[in-house]
Chains A and B, each alone.
Chain A
Amino acid sequence: MNRFLLPLGVFALLAVVLAVGIRHSPDKGLIRSPLIGKPAPQFSLPDLQDPARTVQSAALQGRWYLLNVWGTWCAACRAEHEALLSIAHGRQIGIIGLNWRDTDADARQWLKQLGDPYEHVAVDRDGRTAIDWGVYGAPETFLVNPRGIVVYKHIGELTTQTFNAEILPRVRGGQGS
């Protein structure tokens, strides 16, 4: 054996790692958010229904949840509201709302009229949490796993089809992890 074989050996090892990496990658490829696979940004924001209390990301550790970014001014949020209600009704996963660029009164009125799919709604008054989460526009929905890692992001109107095809399998498949 000569020492000049060493680079080849190192490269072979690397090739194996990359090959395994590719096999793992389909479930994280094709997704645009840089947040995927990273810890969900922390937040501690006032609760819409009871501003004296706070909604904290830390309290959500240990369970799957959806973070849905919405506002009463957003037409697509109105369009996905039925889907959110049916997801909430299914009781498979809890939805946390992030009320964004909105007024509290409008938001409460909206939930009273259309029904409330959210466990809690956090109010992002200064828009900073939305920046932390890399929100481009409402609606956006993030799926966060029990370890607090963002595993999936849906941009735009969420439908029950998308929920069944993309979100539910992840929650079920990842139950063990």
Chain B
Amino acid sequence: MLPELGLFALILALLLAALQAFFGIAGPALGRDRWLAALPMAVAGQAVMVATAVGCLVAAFVGNDFSVRYVAENSNTALPLFYRVTALWGAHEGSLLLWILLLALWTVAVAASATRLPPRFAARVLGVLGLISAGFLLFTLATSNPFLRLDPAAPDGRDLNPILQDPGLAVHPPILYTGYVGFAVAFAFACAAMIEGRMDQQWARWTRPWTTLAWAFLTCGIALGSFWAYYELGWGGYWFWDPVENASFMPWLAGTALIHSLAVTDKRGLFKSWTLLLAILAFSLSMLGTFLVRSGVLVSVHSFAADPSRGIFILGFLILTIGSALTLYAWRAPLLKSGAGFEFTAREAFLLFNNLLLVTAAATVFAGTLAPLIADTLGLGTLSVGPPYFNPTFMVSMLPLLALLPVGVHAAWKRGHLGEKARLLLYTLAAALVLACGFVFGLYRGGRVLTVIGLTLGIWIIASSLIEPLQRWRRGLSLSRAVLGMSVAHIGIGLLAIALTTVQSYTTERDVALAPGGSSAVGGYEFRLEQLQPVEGANFSGVQATVTVLRNGQAVAVMNPQKRRFWVQQQVTSETSIRMLRGANVLIALGDDLGQGRWSLRIQIRPLVSLIWLAALVMAIGAVLAAADRRYRTARAAAGAPLPAAAQEVA
């Protein structure tokens, strides 16, 4: 009964979403303000219905109801309870349902804070969100119903893809999707502003906290995905430039540009049309990500189940939403007058470069991701684009971005006076260079020029980000959350630059063949294979190796990589063993039985690799801090108050 109830709830949710879209968009357009009163009901009702549907599917998973096809395909009685719940988003149908649930929750949050917005504007925002939700609900019901029954019911399920049976997967998709879907809010605000013709600074101020929050989730989601790939896929890499990773990275880059462009529009009333375009772009790339992952257009390690008919539906929906948003843009953006100018060394100029470089980076990733598809379409044969393309092209736009960051942060708005800070910046740069050289030639005994540059920039960014908070603190001035958040996020970028440079420059990797008792020296350590033992889990069996790590003859760690064979899907996964030793990640993956008692082992030593994910976390914390700034919560009051000085100058 429950699955039917879930399906029924989804259909009701679709109706409510359609109502929300209609009342929200048509109400203000026709001047029927009474229609707006129905919106909160529609939003809340839709969220309740979607939550009910999700609850029904979870109940089917927990209760091992193998008469539901999706459950039979993705679960098993032997699967631990925790994974039976997270198996919900283990495949396409459930992922989509999660998408819809998160969109409903974001919509509830927007509706709850809509009292700070003019009623008609708020209605339009909710209307656009309703339209997106209706599209995805229709997509689910038409092509990907998770409640389809199986007759006769399966005696047992096919089990969850073993790669996905990991705590990392439990949290990765929900967080990543929260970020993806969050850009829908910025998109809705942009569309509402364009429909209303109200594309002023106020629009940007309302949009800022939502965008920043969504960006924080996306950052965490991508970092978790990278972390999960690092220790679960067994290859020891943290980033593969895989189409699915790129699909989440492109909206991230566009979102980063949007955050900065919104700042200029909010503070100075400039870049208005550009900001609108970026808001459309960020969400379009999120949807394109969904399309790429789910349509089977691109084959990647992540596309566990792809289906062309779904691709056609998403493409149609994509054309409808993005196409109409861009049409609206082409119609409305010309009405915007360009604001006051600014000097070449002012903060606006730096933020312009920031935007150009980030969009260039997004474009290069985009080109690399779609190149195989385009080559195929034009009949140029099959093409594979990998790190040799992505690494250098990406660096070309990222290095200048990092170099401009410390200066841009300290440049004043409008007129580019660095003042006393110019000297401080030079000092920090010199100190950073000395420190970087110390690392490269002292600690690691040599490295490339690029290593020195990367480390210098990373340290410089951190040091220069500390200038403003420290000065304010010393003078006893208050520090707004926005400034603090920005500094923290930039420190995160600096940490990331340091971590990536170190990992790329100083990784040691070796594949060795060892028999029990044998040992091999890799990167200053000796690895001794002690023994191999069978292991048993709830739904798998496997082999576990015991490896003693020695340094100068002293045992410093005992590591236990495993190789698991899952009974139901007969799939083998590698459980790598990772240990922190002297700031470096030592990773051992158990390979194959080579016969005569010998096993292949992959050993990697990556210094500072954990810092990559820590840096992402720091960035996300900074974003959350900035989004919590008090300015945004009093936005309504400010709307009635005299415009800030900067805005008056523009007017």
Interface string of B319-346 (1 = CB under 8 A from A): 1001100110110011000000000000
* With contact pairs A29-B308, A137-B572 given, residues A2 and B330 touching in the complex (Cβ less than 8 Å): yes
List the B side residues contacting A101 at CB < 8 Å.
Answer: 592-595
* With contact pairs A17-B374, A20-B377, A22-B315 given, residues A2 and B334 touching in the complex (Cβ less than 8 Å): yes
B384 at the interface (CB under 8 A from A): yes
A127 at the interface (CB under 8 A from B): yes
Contact of A15 with B318 in the complex, beta carbons under 8 Å: yes
B650 at the interface (CB under 8 A from A): no
CA distance A127 to B599 in the complex (A): 9
B8 at the interface (CB under 8 A from A): no
CA distance A39 to B273 in the complex (A): 44
CA distance A17 to B366 in the complex (A): 13
A52 at the interface (CB under 8 A from B): no
**Stretch of B42-50, B129-137, B292-300 with 4 or more beta carbons under 8 angstroms from chain A:** B292-300
CA distance A64 to B570 in the complex (A): 29
Number of interface residues of B (CB under 8 A): 50
- Enumerate A31-50 residues with CB–CB distance to B below 8 Å: 31-32, 34, 36-39
* With contact pairs A29-B296, A30-B305 given, residues A128 and B376 touching in the complex (Cβ less than 8 Å): no
Contact of A21 with B376 in the complex, beta carbons under 8 Å: yes
Contact of A37 with B382 in the complex, beta carbons under 8 Å: yes
List the B side residues contacting A38 at CB < 8 Å.
Answer: 382, 384
CA distance A22 to B294 in the complex (A): 11
- Enumerate A74-108 residues with CB–CB distance to B below 8 Å: 101-103
CA distance A18 to B311 in the complex (A): 9
B416 at the interface (CB under 8 A from A): no
Contact among B329, B384, B594 with A8 in the assembled complex (CB-CB below 8 Å): B329
CA distance A30 to B303 in the complex (A): 9
List the A side residues contacting B372 at CB < 8 Å.
Answer: 37
Tally of contacts, chain A with chain B, CB under 8 A? 116
Q: Looking across the interface, which residue of chain A has its beta carbon closest to that of B162?
A: A136
* Least CB distance, B632 to chain A, in whole angstroms: 28
A161 at the interface (CB under 8 A from B): no
Contact of B384 with A39 in the complex, beta carbons under 8 Å: yes
* Least CB distance, A3 to chain B, in whole angstroms: 9
Contact of A18 with B297 in the complex, beta carbons under 8 Å: yes
CA distance A65 to B368 in the complex (A): 30
CA distance A149 to B383 in the complex (A): 10
A173 at the interface (CB under 8 A from B): no
Contact of B326 with A22 in the complex, beta carbons under 8 Å: no
Contact among B315, B319, B334, B513 with A126 in the assembled complex (CB-CB below 8 Å): B513
CA distance A2 to B277 in the complex (A): 15
B66 at the interface (CB under 8 A from A): no
List the A side residues contacting B308 at CB < 8 Å.
Answer: 22, 25-26, 29
Contact of B295 with A7 in the complex, beta carbons under 8 Å: no
Contact of B330 with A8 in the complex, beta carbons under 8 Å: yes
* With contact pairs A4-B330, A28-B296 given, residues A137 and B571 touching in the complex (Cβ less than 8 Å): yes
Contact of A126 with B291 in the complex, beta carbons under 8 Å: no
Contact of A103 with B595 in the complex, beta carbons under 8 Å: yes
Contact of A4 with B296 in the complex, beta carbons under 8 Å: no
Contact of A19 with B315 in the complex, beta carbons under 8 Å: yes
Q: Looking across the interface, which residue of chain A has its beta carbon closest to that of B372?
A: A37
List the B side residues contacting A12 at CB < 8 Å.
Answer: 323
List the A side residues contacting B538 at CB < 8 Å.
Answer: none
CA distance A21 to B323 in the complex (A): 19
Contact of B384 with A7 in the complex, beta carbons under 8 Å: no
List the A side residues contacting B651 at CB < 8 Å.
Answer: none
A165 at the interface (CB under 8 A from B): no
* Least CB distance, B6 to chain A, in whole angstroms: 26
B364 at the interface (CB under 8 A from A): no
CA distance A2 to B331 in the complex (A): 9
B466 at the interface (CB under 8 A from A): no
B30 at the interface (CB under 8 A from A): no
B443 at the interface (CB under 8 A from A): no
* With contact pairs A5-B330, A25-B308, A38-B384 given, residues A17 and B377 touching in the complex (Cβ less than 8 Å): yes
B304 at the interface (CB under 8 A from A): yes
Contact of A17 with B600 in the complex, beta carbons under 8 Å: no
CA distance A31 to B144 in the complex (A): 19
- Enumerate B263-315 residues with CB–CB distance to A below 8 Å: 273, 277, 280, 284, 291, 295-297, 299-301, 304-308, 311-312, 315
Q: Looking across the interface, which residue of chain A has its beta carbon closest to that of B383?
A: A37
Contact of B315 with A4 in the complex, beta carbons under 8 Å: no
B542 at the interface (CB under 8 A from A): no
Contact of A127 with B592 in the complex, beta carbons under 8 Å: yes
A112 at the interface (CB under 8 A from B): no
A125 at the interface (CB under 8 A from B): yes
A59 at the interface (CB under 8 A from B): no
The interface centre, meaning the residue of A18, A26, A127 with most chain B CB atoms within 10 A of its CB, is: A18
B370 at the interface (CB under 8 A from A): yes
CA distance A149 to B372 in the complex (A): 14
CA distance A15 to B315 in the complex (A): 7
List the A side residues contacting B570 at CB < 8 Å.
Answer: 136-137, 156
* Least CB distance, B254 to chain A, in whole angstroms: 13
List the A side residues contacting B594 at CB < 8 Å.
Answer: 101, 125-127
* Least CB distance, A157 to chain B, in whole angstroms: 11
Contact of B296 with A7 in the complex, beta carbons under 8 Å: no
CA distance A14 to B334 in the complex (A): 24
* Least CB distance, B597 to chain A, in whole angstroms: 13
A130 at the interface (CB under 8 A from B): yes
List the A side residues contacting B382 at CB < 8 Å.
Answer: 37-38, 147, 149
* Least CB distance, B63 to chain A, in whole angstroms: 29
What are 24 sample pairs from A and B whose C-beta atoms fall under 8 A apart? A2-B330, A4-B334, A7-B330, A12-B323, A15-B318, A15-B323, A17-B374, A17-B377, A18-B291, A18-B315, A21-B297, A21-B373, A22-B295, A25-B295, A25-B306, A34-B300, A101-B592, A101-B595, A126-B594, A127-B594, A136-B570, A136-B572, A147-B382, A149-B382
- Nearest 6 Cβ contacts at the A-B interface: A29-B296, A127-B592, A8-B326, A4-B333, A5-B330, A21-B297
